[in-house]
Structure 1
């Protein structure tokens, strides 16, 4: 398996993976998210390939205060192979290289499977409320 940084030529395959993993929502444009992540030095999309085939991805960024993780996706037929753990490790390494003191992520409150996965990696739910506004 090989982990590399995504490029513009990967966009269609990565978005197809995100859709296969049910990570996209009608109110978010995954292509715009992808392009914005590649356009700045403070974010990246990391990809895992096996024999040239895309099998996992993760978007990672550092806002100067904390690291953030989005779009952790493992192709359905490759789940339970430890790829989620590997991709989270790659994202954490990316953040450590940028001196990020903390990593955070958001999980929908009804996604018990994802919450359990992150707890198994040592992540804890935080006593905060996420507040947002579309602009």
Structure 2
């Protein structure tokens, strides 16, 4: 039995991706809020809990071994059919600022490995994000 709910795990993924470069941008925070408001997985999630859950994740990340702890919780909480969703929301947060840095790329690789996301699936998710975030 997992210690966090799947919705919490997805928020942990998004917060971790946003915090990886030590700067949670307004675009990233707006994107997290939009995802929580619109994705069906969050249909029964109380949006008033978003900030407390994000703080909870940030607190874990600040501990020694925090990233491993968060990813362990995420992996345990997510059933296989939601692991691609977790990768997709991570990519959305990484793409929110229209540039993806080395820290974000490394975190995406770690997330792919942790959740067992196939390379072709990951590439398709990434390509979809590039298309959604393209500018003129």
Short-chain TM bin: 0.3 to 0.5
Q: RCO greater where, 1 or 2, for CA within 8 Å and sep 6 or more?
A: 2
Q: Which has the higher strand share?
A: 1
Q: Provide TM-score, normalisation by structure 1.
A: 0.42
Q: Which has the higher helix share?
A: 2
Q: Provide TM-score, normalisation by structure 2.
A: 0.42
**Higher gyration radius (CA):** 1
